[in-house]
């Protein structure tokens, strides 16, 4: 049995925020919660975790990660990806389907899903919307759902065919699963990964405009207005998209939004400092966009914080910026970035940030996760909100493509517990 003593327990689902003890039973569930419980147990019979000054929250849930498995495992694989997630405080993640081969058949899905079930955290798998992500033919979504796909996405590219996408929305509505969309219209992109503006001009690149995102968001919200599927707008990057999301929700349209820690923390200026390491789709944009994203998070317009953890090899990212792939790793820096740039900056309340990291993504996918409650599974993260640390050069991830290496952040994961087992402890290899 594990006993966590004197933690500040925060459960966003119930708005619980109290200092108390939490007892975890041998079956991996939360046995008891309350003040002074540790005084009534034999310390020789339990593993006591002293947590004074630390926050105990539900294990984080990330609905948008790339573990590059199958086919691109020189970048990452499900084992190293799960280790990175645990080190970042995550107990549940949803893997995207832009692998090699893509997750567009039951056979490919079942092979990777079988291996994911053996990992120390909950690694769930999404499947593709279209065959080979080519936007021409829908996958057998119902068969993939029966096989265990928790949602559908062609993340990395948009589904441009309106008729095809409308049919995908209808199927996802029938199955009651999310359809997660990458909103970048190619006709507004002259060079991906860098915002179209002052920085792209300085670098001699055409850039990717915010209109690439907003044009697709407008279309998909309109298409879903009468269908009512779980439409998830991925990695929102612009102020105008936040407004579109806010207006759609006010009109009763079923739509959800993700924001990444990097879009909350940084602007296009980071590209000048860190080059290709800061190249990401959609790109980091202006300070006005960043502030709008923070306001959207604070008022609940944006539902979820999702990392878009995107590993690449050092050799790939060492290419000139116009040739290097877009994307950055994010699982192990997520808490530090949001604590530093959203909470400590007083842009958003901690409980709201935790809601976006835990119960909101869990609810979208209908998961028994994202909560700290008696009788529920002990999927937990213990972190020190005041700990100041420097982002290291190496990670639990196989990749190191982070533009935040060497930066000082606040908020450090001390321990991650999944199904009542310690799957990560600070300082232990």
3-state SS class at 106: helix
The 3-state DSSP class for residue 277 equals helix
DSSP, collapsed to helix, strand or coil, labels residue 181 as strand
Phi, psi of 231 (to 5 degrees): -85, 115
Q: How far is CA 112 from CA 45, 97, 130, in A?
A: 39, 11, 18
HSE (CB half, 13 Å, CA atoms) of 83? 12
Sequence-distant (6+) residues with CB within 8 A of 112 are 69, 70, 78, 95, 99, 103, 125
d(CA 123, CA 93): 5
Q: Pick the catalytic residue from 21, 308, 379, 384.
A: 308
Query: Does the active-site annotation cover 308?
Result: yes
| Signed CA dihedral, 396, 401, 406, 412: sign only | negative
Query: What would the two tokens of residue 293 be?
Result: 């994203």
Compute the C-alpha angle 307/310/311, nearest 5°: 135
- Report, as residue numbers or ranges, the catalytic residues: 308
């Amino acid at each position: 049995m594990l006993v966590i003593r004197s933690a500040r327990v925060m459960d966003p689902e119930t708005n619980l925020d109290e200092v108390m003890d939490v007892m975890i039973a041998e079956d991996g569930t939360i046995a008891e919660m309350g003040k002074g419980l540790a005084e009534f147990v034999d310390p020789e019979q339990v593993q006591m975790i002293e947590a004074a000054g630390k926050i105990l929250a539900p294990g984080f849930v990330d609905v948008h990660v790339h573990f590059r498995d199958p086919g691109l495992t020189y970048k990452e694989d499900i084992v190293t990806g799960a280790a990175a997630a645990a080190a970042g405080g995550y107990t549940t993640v949803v893997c995207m389907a832009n692998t090699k081969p893509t997750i567009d058949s039951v056979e490919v899905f079942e092979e990777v899903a079988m291996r994911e079930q053996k990992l120390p955290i909950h690694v769930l798998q999404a499947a593709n919307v279209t065959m080979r992500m080519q936007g021409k033919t829908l996958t057998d979504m119902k068969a993939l759902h029966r096989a265990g796909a928790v949602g559908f996405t062609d993340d990395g590219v948009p589904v441009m065919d309106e008729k095809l996408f409308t049919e995908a929305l209808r199927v996802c509505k029938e199955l009651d699963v999310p359809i997660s969309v990458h909103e970048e219209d190619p006709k507004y992109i002259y060079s991906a990964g860098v915002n179209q503006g002052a920085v792209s001009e300085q670098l001699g690149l055409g850039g990717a405009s915010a209109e690439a995102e907003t044009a697709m968001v407008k279309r998909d919200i309109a298409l879903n207005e009468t269908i009512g599927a779980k439409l998830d707008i991925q990695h929102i990057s612009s102020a105008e998209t936040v407004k579109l999301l806010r207006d759609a929700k006010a009109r009763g349209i079923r739509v959800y939004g993700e924001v990444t820690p990097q879009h909350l923390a940084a602007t296009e200026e980071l590209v000048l400092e860190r080059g290709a390491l800061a190249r990401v789709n959609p790109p980091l944009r202006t300070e006005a966009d960043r502030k709008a994203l923070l306001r959207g998070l604070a008022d609940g317009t944006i539902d979820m914080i999702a990392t878009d953890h995107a590993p690449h090899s050092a050799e790939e990212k060492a290419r000139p910026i116009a040739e290097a792939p877009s994307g950055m790793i994010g699982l192990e820096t997520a808490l530090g970035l949001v604590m530093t740039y959203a909470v400590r900056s007083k842009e958003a309340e901690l409980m709201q940030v935790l809601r976006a990291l835990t119960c909101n993504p869990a609810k979208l996918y209908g998961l028994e996760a994202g909560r700290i409650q008696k009788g529920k599974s002990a999927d937990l993260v213990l972190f020190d909100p005041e700990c100041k640390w420097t982002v290291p050069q190496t990670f639990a991830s196989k990749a190191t493509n982070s533009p935040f290496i060497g930066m000082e952040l606040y908020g450090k994961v001390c321990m991650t517990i999944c199904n009542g087992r310690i799957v990560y402890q600070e300082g232990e290899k």
